């Protein structure tokens, strides 16, 4: 009887409830379409960045400036900012690698350099890695030609679409890397061992090159030179100083410790390097130089533990939050100088855009849904007031408060939850049609969001369940005030009317 009364009341008030029902159907249809497409977008970005760059999450050092794996995310900086290094990196990597959820780990050094080859140059983001473990961490990385550098040897892997000339002839040759550090700069010449490619064209990805970790450390200034003076006699030291004066063009004994003087440069010498032109075009002021030179007795010291990030890949991406929480519990947290972030926050930029768009979509449509709830509440309240006599009669005939509550709940459920079900069904149909059309967007920035693939959506059981839960919450909110008024009706007073 209660069900028949509830349905009769809904049908009787269909004109009043019609606009609200239409709004709810449209809202849930848009929610399903938007979340299905944006969930697919996040999955596509995961395949691009997590499977090719970062793994599932990273551990980096806490710093005043926010550093992603691509460097500082500050938009207005006057110079390249060197990221800080991690403390106790070997111990942390050994600990994390021992956990059963971990598929692979690798260190990463973020640097930047201008790469020069046969008159062509490009500014690049340099990832310094250990080529024995990094390829295992990023199985999506495609090596198109050549190979990765051998362990312990210098080498660089460029992108196949690089702007350095004829890339098919560059493998096996050497390129010059120049990195500016304040008023000094570092030069490194390394052989090109291979060419790689990423699945999409992205302004961030297009600039990435991979080098051995020691080259990246040198570009960031993590390598330094030291001299053991006990190995030199006074005569040897004097001869060495003279040779260095000749190398840098100094003519006197004060070449390093006295006032520096300019010396002419032979314009016809094709081997001369103009650091100002190399690093800053036609800059008038030539910076001080820090050029590596192989000299007997002068050794290049290195900090093999200098890494900017620990990259972690999991067997199951869904375990990321639990593993990150466990790592923080082991003491690798901001209080001790460690920053644990998922892949999207580690990449920044485009990777966060899809999540932001999804958040804005849901917030916007939820506000519209609350407006629909208010309209539904008013419509149901008017229905209750119009049926004061009917409800009073039911109470007088023995209908208890719970039975009246169930009748009001059924009415609200039919209107709100039923509208949501229709909207979800229409949204699923719309997503299937979208997938069948295979729409490819020409805009490169929008294509990045979909991993270079056609615009697609994926309506999962979890997505449907989440929207049904929202619909149930809206149903309960819509019935609160009408139910309160219905239960407050006095049977005797209602029947006297």
List pLDDT tens digits, range 287-306.
333 344 333 333 344 445 68
* Of 223, 205, 208, 192, residue with least CA distance to 113: 208
Q: What pairs with residue 290 in β-bridges? A: 186
* Of 133, 85, 92, residue with least CA distance to 109: 85
Taking the C-alpha atoms of residue 255 and residue 136, their distance in angstroms, rounded to an integer, is 49
pLDDT of the chain, 497 residues: tens digit per residue: 667 777 777 777 777 778 878 888 998 998 899 888 888 877 878 888 888 899 999 999 998 878 888 887 654 444 567 888 998 899 999 999 999 999 999 999 999 898 988 888 888 899 999 999 999 999 888 888 889 999 889 999 998 877 676 666 788 889 999 887 666 778 889 999 999 988 777 777 888 999 999 999 988 888 644 334 344 444 544 443 444 344 334 444 443 333 433 333 344 443 344 444 444 443 333 333 334 433 333 334 444 568 999 999 999 998 999 999 999 999 899 999 999 999 988 988 767 776 777 778 778 777 877 777 787 788 777 777 777 777 777 777 777 777 778 888 888 888 889 999 999 999 999 999 988 887 777 666 566 566 556 777 888 888 899 889 988 888 888 888 887 877 777 666 655 65
Q: Which two tokens stand for residue 47?
A: 């395949």
Question: Domain residues of the chain, as ranges?
Answer: 2-47+350-496, 63-227+269-336
| Residue-wise DSSP of 165-179 | S-GGGTTTSEEEEEE
pLDDT tens digits, 155-213? 999 988 776 766 667 888 899 998 876 667 788 899 999 999 887 777 778 889 999 99
Task: Please state the pTM of the whole predicted model.
Answer: 0.67
What lies within 8 Å, CB to CB, of 60 at 6+ separation is: 67, 83, 86, 308, 309, 310, 338, 339, 341, 346
**Is the distance from CB of 159 to CB of 92 less than 8 angstroms?**
no
* Of 194, 111, 116, residue with least CA distance to 160: 194
User: How far, CA to CA in Å, does 408 sit from each of 2, 192, 380, 421?
Assistant: 9, 74, 9, 19
Taking the C-alpha atoms of residue 482 and residue 17, their distance in angstroms, rounded to an integer, is 14
- Provide the sign of the torsion angle of the four alpha carbons 201, 202, 206, 211, taken in this order: negative
* Of 151, 122, 123, 121, residue with least CA distance to 135: 151
* Of 398, 433, 309, residue with least CA distance to 57: 309
Instruction: Sort strands 120-129 and 102-117 into parallel, antiparallel or unpaired.
Output: antiparallel
Relative orientation angle of helices 388-396 and 401-412, to the nearest 10 degrees: 140
What lies within 8 Å, CB to CB, of 139 at 6+ separation is: 51
Taking the C-alpha atoms of residue 181 and residue 183, their distance in angstroms, rounded to an integer, is 6
What lies within 8 Å, CB to CB, of 432 at 6+ separation is: none
Q: Which two tokens stand for residue 109?
A: 């050094």
From the number of C-beta atoms within 10 Å of its C-beta (0-12, 13-18, 19+), residue 419 rates as buried
Instruction: Outline where 150-212 has alpha helix (H).
Output: none
Burial 423-453 (b: 16+ CB within 10 A, else e): bbebbbebbeebbeeeeeeeeeeebbbbbbe
* Of 337, 276, 409, residue with least CA distance to 64: 337
Burial 58-85 (b: 16+ CB within 10 A, else e): bbbbeeeeebbbbbbeeeeeeebebbbb
**Is the distance from CB of 312 to CB of 57 less than 8 angstroms?**
yes
**Is the distance from CB of 65 to CB of 74 less than 8 angstroms?**
yes
Task: Provide the 8-state DSSP code for 287.
Answer: P
């Amino acid at each position: 009887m209660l069900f028949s009364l509830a349905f009769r009341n809904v049908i009787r008030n269909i004109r009043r409830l019609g606009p609200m029902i239409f709004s709810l159907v449209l809202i849930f249809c848009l929610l399903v379409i938007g979340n299905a497409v944006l969930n697919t977008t996040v999955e596509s970005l995961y395949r691009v960045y997590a499977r090719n760059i970062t793994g599932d999450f990273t551990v980096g050092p806490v710093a005043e400036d926010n550093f992603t794996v691509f460097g500082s995310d500050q938009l207005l900086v006057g110079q390249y900012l060197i990221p800080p290094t991690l403390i106790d990196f070997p111990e942390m990597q050994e600990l994390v690698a021992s956990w059963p959820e971990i598929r692979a780990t690798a260190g990463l050094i973020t640097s930047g350099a201008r790469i020069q080859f046969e008159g062509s140059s490009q500014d690049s983001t340099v990832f310094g890695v250990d080529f024995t473990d990094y390829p295992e961490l990023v199985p999506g990385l495609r090596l198109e030609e050549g190979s990765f550098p051998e362990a312990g040897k210098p080498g660089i892997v460029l992108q196949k679409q690089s702007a350095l000339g004829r890339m098919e002839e560059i493998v096996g040759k050497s390129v010059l890397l120049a990195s500016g550090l304040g008023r000094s700069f570092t030069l490194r010449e390394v052989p090109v061992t291979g060419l790689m490619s990423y699945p999409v064209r992205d302004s961030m990805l297009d600039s990435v090159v991979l080098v051995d970790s020691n080259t990246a450390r040198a570009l960031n200034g993590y390598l330094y030179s030291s001299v053991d003076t006990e190995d030199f006699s006074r005569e040897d030291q004097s001869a060495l100083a003279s040779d260095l004066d000749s190398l840098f063009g100094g003519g006197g004994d004060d070449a390093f410790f006295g006032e520096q003087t300019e010396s002419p440069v032979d314009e016809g010498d094709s081997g001369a390097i103009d650091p100002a032109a190399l690093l800053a075009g036609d800059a008038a002021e030539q910076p001080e130089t820090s050029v590596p030179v192989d000299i007997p007795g002068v050794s290049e010291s290195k900090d093999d533990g200098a890494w900017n990030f620990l990259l972690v890949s999991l067997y199951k991406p869904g375990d990321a939050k639990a593993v990150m929480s466990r790592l923080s519990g082991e003491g690798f947290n901001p209080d001790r100088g460690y920053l644990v972030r998922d892949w999207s926050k580690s990449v920044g930029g485009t990777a966060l855009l899809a999540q932001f768009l999804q958040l804005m979509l849901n917030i916007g449509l939820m506000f519209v849904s609350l407006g629909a709830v208010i309209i539904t509440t008013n419509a149901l309240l008017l229905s209750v007031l119009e049926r004061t006599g009917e409800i009073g009669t039911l109470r007088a005939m023995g209908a208890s408060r719970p039975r009246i509550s169930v009748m009001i709940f059924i009415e609200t459920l039919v209107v709100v939850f039923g509208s949501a079900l229709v909207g979800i069904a229409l949204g699923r149909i719309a997503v299937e049609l979208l997938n069948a059309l295979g729409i490819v967007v020409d805009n490169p920035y929008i294509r990045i969001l979909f991993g270079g693939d056609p615009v697609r959506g994926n309506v999962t059981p979890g997505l449907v369940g989440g929207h049904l839960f929202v619909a149930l919450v809206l149903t309960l909110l819509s019935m609160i005030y009408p139910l309160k008024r219905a239960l407050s009706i006095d049977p005797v007073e209602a029947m006297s009317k």
